[in-house]
Chain A
Amino acid sequence: MSTAALYAWAGVALSMLGLFGFIVHRHLIRRLLAYNIMGSGCFLLLVGLSQDGRGVDPVPQALVLTGIVVTVASTALALVIFRRWFRVSGESVLPEEV
């Protein structure tokens, strides 16, 4: 197995792990961490899979760079909303939907 394929498989494993955590956990910080792990898995998959057997390709690397910016921004927004939610409700999990 080439290094790129190894990255791709690691990416698959990480995203599945992240997805599992995202669904199973209720604590919002844990879910946010799971989202970040899943995101990293996606990026590894994106870079690894498209470079497998074809050598270096700048396009997926540029895409991943954009993706990281997007993930950082959404994590920041989620943290801001979580802090406000925690301040007004004192809860760290979302209430069950009625």
Chain B
Amino acid sequence: MNPLPWLVALPLIGALVVFLLPVRWRASGSLALLVPVGFVSIRPLASILSQGTQSHAPGGWIAPLGIGLQADGFAAGMVILTALVIVPCSIHAARSLRGKPAEEGFWPLLWFMWAALNSIWLSADLFNLYVGIELLGLAAVGLVALAGSVQSLAAAMRYLLAALLGSLVYLIGVALIYAALGSLALADLKAYGSGQPTILIASVLMTFGLLLKTALFPLHGWLPPAHGSALTPVSALLSALVIKASLCMLIRLWMSLGPEAMPVVLAWTLGLMGAGAVFWGGWMALRQTRLKRLVAYSTVAQIGLLFLFFPLVTGTPATAAALAWDGTVLMLVSHAFAKAAMFLAAGNLVFAIGSEQIADLNGVCRFRPFSLLSFGVAGISLTGLPPSGGFIAKWLLMQSALASGQWIWLPVLLGGGLLSAAYVIRVLGNAMVEGPVRDRFEAPSLPLELSALALGCVSLVLGFAARAPLAWLRAGGPFAGGG
């Protein structure tokens, strides 16, 4: 049986089943459902490694009328990444949301989010991608609003408006492409390239829409309030997975048009916006007084690093482009683990000290060292210290920048690392200072601590074992031969 349709259908069924359960069973029901869905998530990668790219035409309808699902190594890797991040976040949520009003909405929305993510990773059709990103946006906005505070409602509204505008602009691009080509299948884009002005205008519009959803500087205004004011497991999921979905759509769009399709001006604009994001996000993170806001701004900065991909693959030698692909993909994966770990750890710290302020962390190191440990472990990968996944990713990107002669990105990579070291150390430093005498710290329970630590450790271990996952993620993709 082909697992591809089930990867979308099972989470959807899960959402409906969980929604029908009484509120007190929703958490345990979801945890039980994680097992079969997690099992199905591994299946595509196994078949890709033995048989190559997998595809499926639901209902037997093939493109252009049907809407195909397709899994190359990258898609299968993202499916597994999604499962690996959602499982610890669910364990965290099962404990941290227990008995709170947000529990009622969290679990169904989590499953809708999972269905949307999988449909985006696997979709081979521009319009299906639009539906996927809309479903994802609605689920994510609902999750942000769950916190119920004034700030989180305003943040959810701001997020929703940005997401809606982004998807309509994307839809105009879809309309232009369908009018020009008569098909929306990603595979059909390749034949036409971007020689036609219509395709170029359409792709630029779609790129703008997706940038708004990915929150690339200077379009990032909605992200820090949304990620900073949501519930802890929600912030982790949003920063780790949701913003990656629109980025992956962007990469897929341009790679489907052909490696040389992107105009160099556009590629450099994206790269420079990314560089701006790295410095602005890092600087703003350094200036925050609230812990979760700091982590949210760090996401703004890290998104910027992922956009160096575009100048590094456009008009550069094949070896440089292959290195850029590997570096970006590894950066994406290790950032997902590290940022989820950091948000969960930040939530645990906030719970321990009973305050959002970084200045109130004084003394945490002595009384709650375990909570701080996970934050530090996640910080190692974000900063790009060896031997973490973040280090290998930055190393690959630097090599790519050298191989393509684009020296300008080196200070961005190094400066971004320094800035992230600065804001991580600012938190650790505050936690290690012996402040005013205080001995009342809440104790986060073991599942909360372990879920954060496990995610952090994965992002570290990725540095030791990056070779095999990178080879899987290349399979069937645009850089299958290189590296």
Which residue from A35, A45, A63, A97 sits with its C-beta under 8 Å from B172?
A: A45
Q: Is the CB of B157 within 8 A of A67?
A: no
Which residue from B145, B153, B156, B176 sits with its C-beta under 8 Å from A49?
A: B176
* Chain A residues with a Cβ closer than 8 Å to the other chain, count: 33
Q: Which A residues are in CB contact (< 8 Å) with B165?
A: 19, 22, 35
Asked whether A1 is an interface residue with its Cβ less than 8 Å from the other chain, the reply is no
Q: Is the CB of A52 within 8 A of B179?
A: yes
Main secondary structure of the interface of B (DSSP, over half): helix
Asked whether B347 is an interface residue with its Cβ less than 8 Å from the other chain, the reply is no
The complex places the Cα of A78 from the Cα of B160 at a distance, in Å, of 7
Q: Is the CB of B164 within 8 A of A35?
A: yes
- Give the residue name and chain of the B residue nearest to A73 (CB): B138
Residues of A bordering B, CB below 8 Å: 15, 19, 22, 28, 31, 35, 38-39, 42, 45-46, 49-50, 52, 59-60, 63, 66-67, 70, 73-74, 77-78, 81-82, 84-85, 88-89, 94-95, 97
Asked whether B446 is an interface residue with its Cβ less than 8 Å from the other chain, the reply is no
Distance in Å: Cβ of A89 to nearest Cβ of chain B: 5
Q: Which B residues are in CB contact (< 8 Å) with A38?
A: 168
The complex places the Cα of A78 from the Cα of B161 at a distance, in Å, of 8
User: Do A95 and B154 form a contact, CB below 8 Å, given A35-B164, A46-B178?
Assistant: yes
Distance in Å: Cβ of B151 to nearest Cβ of chain A: 9
Residues of B bordering A, CB below 8 Å: 64-65, 127, 130-131, 134-135, 137-138, 141-142, 145, 148-150, 153-154, 156-158, 160-161, 164-165, 168, 171-172, 174-176, 178-179, 182, 221, 225
Q: Is the CB of B164 within 8 A of A63?
A: no
User: Do A60 and B225 form a contact, CB below 8 Å, given A81-B141, A82-B157, A85-B153?
Assistant: no
User: Do A46 and B175 form a contact, CB below 8 Å, given A74-B138, A74-B160, A78-B164?
Assistant: yes
Distance in Å: Cβ of A27 to nearest Cβ of chain B: 12
Q: Is the CB of A42 within 8 A of B175?
A: yes
Interface core residue of B137, B148, B174 (most chain A CB under 10 Å) = B174
Distance in Å: Cβ of B286 to nearest Cβ of chain A: 16
User: Do A42 and B157 form a contact, CB below 8 Å, given A66-B131, A97-B221?
Assistant: no
Q: Is the CB of A46 within 8 A of B160?
A: no
24 CB-based A-B contacts, threshold 8 Å: A35-B164, A39-B168, A42-B168, A42-B171, A49-B175, A49-B179, A50-B175, A59-B64, A59-B65, A60-B178, A63-B127, A63-B174, A67-B130, A70-B134, A78-B157, A81-B141, A81-B157, A84-B145, A88-B149, A88-B150, A88-B153, A89-B154, A94-B154, A97-B158
Distance in Å: Cβ of B453 to nearest Cβ of chain A: 33
Which residue from B131, B135, B153, B168 sits with its C-beta under 8 Å from A84?
A: B153
The complex places the Cα of A57 from the Cα of B192 at a distance, in Å, of 21
Distance in Å: Cβ of B64 to nearest Cβ of chain A: 7
Q: Is the CB of A46 within 8 A of B171?
A: yes
- Give the residue name and chain of the B residue nearest to A75 (CB): B164
Q: A42-B168, A77-B138 are in contact. List 14 more A-B contacts (CB 8 A).
A: A31-B161, A35-B164, A38-B168, A46-B171, A46-B175, A49-B176, A49-B178, A74-B137, A77-B141, A81-B141, A81-B156, A89-B150, A94-B154, A97-B158
Q: Which B residues are in CB contact (< 8 Å) with A67?
A: 130, 171
Enumerate the 6 nearest inter-chain pairs by beta-carbon distance, A residue then B residue, closest first: A46-B175, A49-B179, A85-B153, A50-B179, A70-B134, A45-B175
Main secondary structure of the interface of A (DSSP, over half): helix
Distance in Å: Cβ of A48 to nearest Cβ of chain B: 9
- Give the residue name and chain of the A residue nearest to B134 (CB): A70
The complex places the Cα of A81 from the Cα of B148 at a distance, in Å, of 10
Distance in Å: Cβ of A49 to nearest Cβ of chain B: 4
Distance in Å: Cβ of A39 to nearest Cβ of chain B: 6
Q: Is the CB of A94 within 8 A of B158?
A: yes
Distance in Å: Cβ of A83 to nearest Cβ of chain B: 10
- Give the residue name and chain of the B residue nearest to A58 (CB): B65
Distance in Å: Cβ of A97 to nearest Cβ of chain B: 6
Q: Is the CB of B157 within 8 A of A94?
A: yes
Distance in Å: Cβ of A43 to nearest Cβ of chain B: 8
Q: Which B residues are in CB contact (< 8 Å) with A78?
A: 157, 160-161, 164
Q: Which B residues are in CB contact (< 8 Å) with A63?
A: 127, 174, 178
User: Do A85 and B172 form a contact, CB below 8 Å, given A74-B164, A77-B142?
Assistant: no
The complex places the Cα of A84 from the Cα of B179 at a distance, in Å, of 41
- Give the residue name and chain of the A residue nearest to B137 (CB): A74
The complex places the Cα of A22 from the Cα of B161 at a distance, in Å, of 9
The complex places the Cα of A78 from the Cα of B134 at a distance, in Å, of 13
Distance in Å: Cβ of B222 to nearest Cβ of chain A: 9
Q: Which A residues are in CB contact (< 8 Å) with B145?
A: 81, 84
Q: Which A residues are in CB contact (< 8 Å) with B179?
A: 49-50, 52
Q: Which B residues are in CB contact (< 8 Å) with A88?
A: 149-150, 153
Q: Which B residues are in CB contact (< 8 Å) with A28?
A: 157
User: Do A59 and B221 form a contact, CB below 8 Å, given A81-B145, A88-B150?
Assistant: no
